[in-house]
Amino acid sequence: MATRLYFNESQNAAFDIGAAVSSLWEQTIASGVFPTKKLLITPDGNSNTNHNLGNLGTGANPCDILFGQFMTDVLPSGVLISGTIQGNIVCREGNTADNLYTQLGLYVVDSGGALVHTLLGGANTGGTEANSPSANNRNLPRNGSTAISSYTTVNATSRVVAEIGMRTESTRTTAVGYMYFGSGVTSDLPTGNGGDNSTTKRPWIEFSADIFTPPAAAGGKNQVVMFG
């Protein structure tokens, strides 16, 4: 059974990691990334929030820019995280020359937030550039459903961290981007690129595997035990 997760923008995670988990990101937006927020199977019903990137000026090409960091509750021991990840989020770029694409890093961390395993270290080709000037939905990661590197949890202290951002592929003089995080009361965004411009529908990511059910209790979410 797949596991769909939501960016609960209004709720802080169990603890604040306070920095990017890996070296994927060259830059972060000025505000809104920290403290780390919750990544949960249940939407919190709060409206979406716009995280935006101001004018960066000239810089590296390409450049991965972190917009948000979200962390799950602890996973049970013995869970195999494998298969694929897919998702969707509404975003936009301020200038067509910015050449901004969605970017996603997925990690397993320990009880202190230190990196244990990289499930997905970004995606750097394919996909559809963010729309300008109006917002529109885009796949996350940029190619849609993408294979991840498998990992089996060895104790009940591991958590998954999703780091979401945008990748500029331009020798830009400016770079302005917007991403809309939250898990409000409306429906989920669809899959695909450009089919929905709603900034109130819920963005999400989805593992093809059930990452919250230990092997001995396999068979359904009704057997999940959640840890804080």
At 94 the pLDDT is 87
Q: Which amino acid is at 27?
A: Q
At 96 the pLDDT is 85
For residue 64, pLDDT beyond 70: yes
Q: Binning pLDDT at 50, 70 and 90, where does residue 224 land?
A: very low
Encoded tokens for 70? 């979200």
Report the alpha-carbon distance of residue 219 to residue 60 in Å, rounded.
Answer: 47
Most confident of 31-45, 49-63, 145-159, 207-221: 145-159
For residue 217, pLDDT beyond 70: no
Domain count, the chain: 1
Give the number of other Cβ atoms within 10 Å of residue 23's Cβ: 10
Please check whether residue 228 lies inside any domain of the structure. Answer: no
Q: How many CA atoms lie within 13 A of 3 on its CB side?
A: 25
Give the number of other Cβ atoms within 10 Å of residue 185's Cβ: 11
At 173 the pLDDT is 66
Domain membership of residue 60 as a residue range: 3-223
**7-21 average pLDDT score:** 95
**94-123 average pLDDT score:** 95
For residue 58, pLDDT beyond 90: no
What confidence tens digit (pLDDT) does each residue in 176-216 have? 899 999 998 789 999 999 989 999 999 999 999 999 998 77
- Please give the full DSSP string across 5-72, using - where no structure is assigned: EEEEEEEE-SS---S-SSS--SEE-SSSS-SPEEEESS---PPPEEEEE----S--SSEEEEEEEEEP
Q: Binning pLDDT at 50, 70 and 90, where does residue 219 land?
A: low
Residue with tokens 């270290």: 121
At 54 the pLDDT is 74
At 32 the pLDDT is 81
Report the alpha-carbon distance of residue 164 to residue 33 in Å, rounded.
Answer: 9
Please check whether residue 110 lies inside any domain of the structure. Answer: yes
Partners of residue 51 on adjacent β-strands: 179
Please check whether residue 88 lies inside any domain of the structure. Answer: yes
Encoded tokens for 2? 């797949």
Please, which residues have CB within 8 angstroms of residue 227's CB and are 6 or more apart in sequence? Answer: 73, 74, 76, 156
For residue 221, pLDDT beyond 60: no
Report the alpha-carbon distance of residue 212 to residue 223 in Å, rounded.
Answer: 9
Three-point CA angle 183, 95, 60, nearest 5°: 95
Report the alpha-carbon distance of residue 169 to residue 189 in Å, rounded.
Answer: 25
Please check whether residue 134 lies inside any domain of the structure. Answer: yes
At 174 the pLDDT is 72
Q: Do 177 and 130 form a contact (C-beta atoms < 8 A)?
A: yes
Whole-number average pLDDT of the chain: 90
For residue 227, pLDDT beyond 50: no
Q: Binning pLDDT at 50, 70 and 90, where does residue 23 land?
A: very high
At 68 the pLDDT is 95
Q: Which amino acid is at 91?
A: C
Please check whether residue 129 lies inside any domain of the structure. Answer: yes
At 97 the pLDDT is 85
Encoded tokens for 76? 């049970």
What is the CATH number for 217?
2.60.120
